[in-house]
Chain A
């Protein structure tokens, strides 16, 4: 049952100002699930008005004792867990990820929200040493109206990552979920109201990028925008922010993250890590381990075992508990990925398995492995966001670090080795916001996450995740 398909502003449900709706598709079948109200600039303006009122210095939200704010945030987390069965089904219906993964995402989201609830009464400014007739201190104040634009690959979790720090710091929010996956965000809006957030504190406006997202990025009265998505759009967001009111910008963009498997790695372990590093979430993962560097000494073994694992990966109906991989999100992505398969073949990489559609309905693609990939091939340089493992051979550790770093991305990187010096040296030298040793995608709520270079700027999660959500005010009081 789809309960909520309207815009959520001021704790109320609204029809779109322009009176239009847009279709939401089930990627497992390619069929329409329902229509959702389509937010545009006028609706964003409405939301900004509501948010500004909710942010007024005398408002209930601004006057809340920090511990009380934390209790509200924690209540939302409890409601996510309470409704996990329904929510996970809705997520799977709209996004296509296996139901088990949806549940994992929801628990992780609730834990993230809980984590940030704990920070609320711990965000401290400082008193600073000054002249004896001066009292100097800093205040960490909420920025104000925060626009948040999130992608379709982890709809609920991306929403939680954005809400957590923003609310912990006392801001108000206008969130635009991806036009592919608005349904769970709207359900969560109802939960926020149930949790007791005052009207206008959180507003959810479904809509597209060009009309709705752009309205947020260029709005004169939105104080900050946080965007997770592609590098291409991220750059546009930053431009629009600069052209309008210099709103603060944080970006979490794509990656072409390397996983480096050294000669002393346990091969079975390496194969299993590499497999999940690329194929998790049908590879629709900003940190997907999409360049697998394998030491020459274990290369052949690695390829053989990886092919076997890939062939055994269960692709199918995400509501089936045996399924490990659901469909890609939509037709456009589906086509793009198959184009990359062709590009790989044309460039001379060896197609070891997969490389084609799975089934004849929905957007399923078989887990695909290319071996003999060269650094300059398209499949080695561009973010595919699809289930294609590209394996590159190496024998020099100094060289592989250079090769791993020669990209304008810098989101995640993994290295598998038993050697202490090698592991720590990779950690020092890899140009990535997160480096994982003997693991991959070790995303933990207390550990900051974000990109080097064009994978973005700013950090989410951890204490660092708060930094982009408060404004520092320095106060100097002279004792006259």
Chain B
């Protein structure tokens, strides 16, 4: 596994200590297959002689990629191996550094900060820097992202992976209590929701509109998942607009009552508010708030204590500090604790666990929301669904899960990731999706046989979350994507992934339907995801012998199975020719000692 797949960068360009400017989210990316090519291409020794530099090979370009600038004699200051001299190339898509002294080309990633010292004359330097700024942050420079230029062709259309109607049908929807509604067909009810929504059968459109008016950004409670047996549901929404005065909405109360009634197994409904109760209270001042148990009969409100996007961003910043470039050996654990990163993961997992438990063991329907219902809510519903439904643990199922709970329900990827935007201190950025994937990784570690995909699958998704090579994670909502015609002008990440599934398959996978997974949300089991956060440190490079070993075993098994089949076919052919005399086939149960 070439874990050095694809990189996105936070790079610092230092040139002769004159210009030092922080560049964030450099779109310097190579898909993992092409990196191995470049690995090979650099195998030949480049002469150190400066005159021959011109003969050096250019990076192999992706379809649609073009070279923009090149600087020679650049020094890359690698924190692990010291300085390396080489050539820096800026293309329309990536920053490419080719070393003169070492084999692997350097590529940029999201947890690294890269320093280039540039020795050359001012002119070249400026031009390279300008080009870098221009193509690293195309949005800030009014240029399209590279995803729109990228034109590689894959056998499968990744945009077809998620079909909401098929997915709801898989869940058994619509049924007698729930219907598919077209009320949001033109994104008029709620511009951050998908076109197709599943709502209770008996609620007329005007009442839905009244409910929408009482929910922040019109994000009404709609179905995320329904239990195939108990009909208990997970519904998601945003906070109610209670405000300081404690406003109530009869329609909203009635609506939740209908949701509760659609599940005959329970006479209760749980409302999970992802926020700490303090934050929920504070939201009242801004017109938001939470459901009071007085107003909502039979509802129980639970706060899950998950902090807001700013706290999470800060936590990731601290985490980056302790893993790059150096890891303080003896203080590692307390440093890790001080980032609170794992503690946040723990709370998210614990919240999802409580939701899954209520739905599965309690057969009770739940409503999940945070403030707007597109960050923490998405984390919680998608993780709970992953625990409850084994379909989402397959590769395609997981793609559907991301498409459904994250993309179609309007997680604001562009704002949270900041694609192509140079303002890296933007307060809207937050590693919400990263935390979700990290939580999934924690689950994979606890249940190594329950997921069809492997760690590399998750890493690849995260790399392309930042890469802008594929259209999947661009923009903020389904409405925007439709408007921009993203499906026509870009390629979906799933096309790339589904075209090379063997890379992402977990050899240990056992398909167990109906298994509910209850991960343990304790610090005793949670671990920092070394294979993602510290993968650039050559010391911590992942060791893959276990999976390698499994693949060998599986290969051996397949080979033997084939052999057995062949032999049996051969034997049955023979016996068929001689079966006339052989008599009843049941004979073969007791093997006859005949040597041929």
- Are A and B co-members of a single complex? no
Taking Cβ atoms with an 8 Å cutoff, the residues of B that contact A are none
Taking Cβ atoms with an 8 Å cutoff, the residues of A that contact B are none
